[in-house]
Amino acid sequence: MTAGAPLVSVNVPCYRQLPLNRRAVETIRAQSFANLEITLIDDGASDEYRQSVESLGDPRVRYVRNPERLGAMRNMFAAIETGRGQYTMAFHEDDLLSAGYLEQAVGILERDPRCGFVACELREFTAEPTAAELGRRAPDPAYDVFASDADLVRGILRGVNPMFGSVVYRRAALEHARADLDRFDTLVDRPLTQRWPGASPSDRSVPGPRYWQPNHMVPDASASMWRIDSWCRDAGSSCFSMRSPVMRSTST
């Protein structure tokens, strides 16, 4: 990590959803963990995003415009790698983040250097969550530990569903990771399809609504199982999944 760099880079791929983006960024700035940088990566050449960042007057928030259109998946994976922090997160611009999530995720990563990434489950909503819901913090969250391919598959089969946009990665674990963006243009929007040779040996999943999401997404069970299988063949890292909240909105 660069000297003086923030510990966490939260990167937000952007494309023509500025009203939702403003709300998402508000919940990132409201995190109890303050040692972070926030980068908006604009794939739509929108001056409105740049102006929105400038209006915040927050030195932690910066605007980057892609010199050419990448498309959703390439922009998402660019977001995973952007920034200077030891830990990195690609956060969806139409989602909301509970106030204590980064503090708890970073705590897990700091305590266990074997952990490649931390993720959590989501709560879908149609009505805007209250400040109390977004601000709710569990002092010692329960979480699942997946130390092997088989453990991860068992967790998924019993209902653990880590949300991609909630993943906080250890940057060092991504050093050799490569997403095959030429072969996959939709399903690659998941960490489970990346290759992790030599990565850390465990992951954590923290259940519950730390990640709040709109319900406009339709799950595809067959695609989900394909992603899991792809990851399991290649992974050398395990994850932690938390059992309590982050949020995604149900309105588009």
Q: What is the mean pLDDT of the chain?
A: 75
Mean pLDDT of 144-159: 78
> Do residues 21 and 12 make contact, with C-beta atoms less than 8 angstroms apart?
yes
Q: What is the pLDDT of residue 3?
A: 63
The pLDDT score that the predictor gives to residue 11 is 97
Residue pLDDT, tens place only, 198-226: 344 456 555 544 545 544 443 333 332 22
**What is the structure's pLDDT at 205?**
58
Position 25 pLDDT exceeds 70:
yes
Instruction: Sketch out the chain's domains with CATH numbers.
Output: 8-249 (3.90.550.10)
Task: Report pLDDT digits (tens) over 162-193.
Answer: 777 888 999 998 877 777 777 665 544 454 43
